[in-house]
Amino acid sequence: MTDSNAKARERWQPLPYDELAPTVDYVRRLAQLGGKYTLDQPFEQSWGNIVLDVSPRGLSTPTLRVADVTFRVHCNLLDAEIVLESDRGVVSVPVRTQSMADAYAEFVAAAAHLGIPAPGSAIATEIPGALHLDRDHEVRDWNPDAARLLWSAFADASGALEQWQAPYRGHRPRTGVMWGGFDLSATRYRGAALPPASDRPVFLQWDAAEEVVAVGFAFGTADSPDAAFFAYIVPQPDGVENRSWGPRGAAWLADAGLASLPWSDVISADDPAQAVIEFGDATYDAAVELAGWPVDFIGPRFDGWYASRTPPGQVPRA
């Protein structure tokens, strides 16, 4: 194993479900405080513009414009605070052991100080059976160590998925966290529309209104405790169940309708990021061979700085 691979392995840590689950549940709700403002922005295909960036300190919204205020919301997990940064100033509220109702009230008061209206809804989106954020009085413990591990996993996974996305020439929104489902998403589009399914909720109708290849990452659940990368193709072509999905541990899950690569298999690989890239490449290969996706949408994959140092006339290495 090379020194660079050894250093990479140090960053990819186990994600024990029992230790991490309460913090994932808490942060998933906190991320919605800022995330809901993204729904006030112009719609982009399959909600590609609502994702939260994995920032150096946590999760951040893109630049938002609501009423006459321009702002961002940063859920800074490493600093245990939510920061609202706007053209009118900067305010922050601490993240600590408390109820979501109290956290919501503090956030709304801080936003009002900058002239930012309250989020359009207090619904805990995509969390089955959850109370509205402003009515949820369950006290949740803040665990800074678990918060750092959560951020670290998102950062490692995001870096790998950004490498996978880099050579794609078609439309691809930035890699980021879909704050409702709380999964990290990297999507590729071919520019082919699909008719929205009329029997689904509105947001799900427009979530699949275009052909897409997606690779992502999600933390474990009570039913499936191991965190995992996942991948799918919409519409799902025939023959996916017979494919190889790249690295060791990757497999097609027929009941879920997607391919899965467990986190435990990724972190045991000599180069975890490369294992994720191979998983993504196997997914796109399946789309090419089974669904007619274009091969020429993929450009060369190489280090940009290497290209900048390449002598004139020399072909960059792929």
Residues 276-292: tens digit of each pLDDT: 999 999 999 999 999 99
pLDDT of the residue at 150: 98
Rounded to whole angstroms, the Cα distance separating 286 from 74 reads: 37
Query: Residue 269: which of 17, 21, 54, 11 has the closest Cα?
Result: 11
Tokens encoding 93 = 């509220």
User: What pTM value is reported for the model?
Assistant: 0.92
On whether the CB atoms of residues 250 and 259 are closer than 8 A, the answer is yes
**How do residues 57-95 score in pLDDT, each as one tens digit?**
999 999 999 989 999 999 999 999 999 999 999 999 999
On whether the CB atoms of residues 107 and 94 are closer than 8 A, the answer is no
CA 231 from centroid of its chain's CA atoms:
13
For residue 9, give the 3-state DSSP assignment: helix
Name 4's bridge partners. Answer: none
Which of 7 and 44 is assigned the larger pLDDT? 44
Above pLDDT 70, what percent of the chain?
Answer: 91
pLDDT class of 197 with cuts at 50, 70, 90: confident
pLDDT of the residue at 3: 54
Side-chain half-sphere of 167: how many Cα atoms within 13 Å? Answer: 16
Rounded to whole angstroms, the Cα distance separating 49 from 80 reads: 25
pLDDT of the residue at 7: 55
Among 18-22, 197-201, 250-254, which is the least confidently predicted range? 197-201
On whether the CB atoms of residues 233 and 239 are closer than 8 A, the answer is no
Q: Check the CA dihedral 189-191-195-198 and report its sign.
A: positive
Rounded to whole angstroms, the Cα distance separating 120 from 152 reads: 30
DSSP H or E segment with residue 282? helix 272-291
How many residues in total does the chain contain?
A: 318
Rounded to whole angstroms, the Cα distance separating 54 from 262 reads: 21
Domain ranges across the chain: 13-142, 145-297
Task: Tell whether the model's pLDDT for residue 170 goes beyond 80.
Answer: yes
pLDDT class of 301 with cuts at 50, 70, 90: confident
Task: Tell whether the model's pLDDT for residue 249 goes beyond 60.
Answer: yes
Q: Check the CA dihedral 276-2-308-299 and report its sign.
A: negative
pLDDT of the residue at 142: 98
Name 69's bridge partners. Answer: 66
Tokens encoding 264 = 């435990």
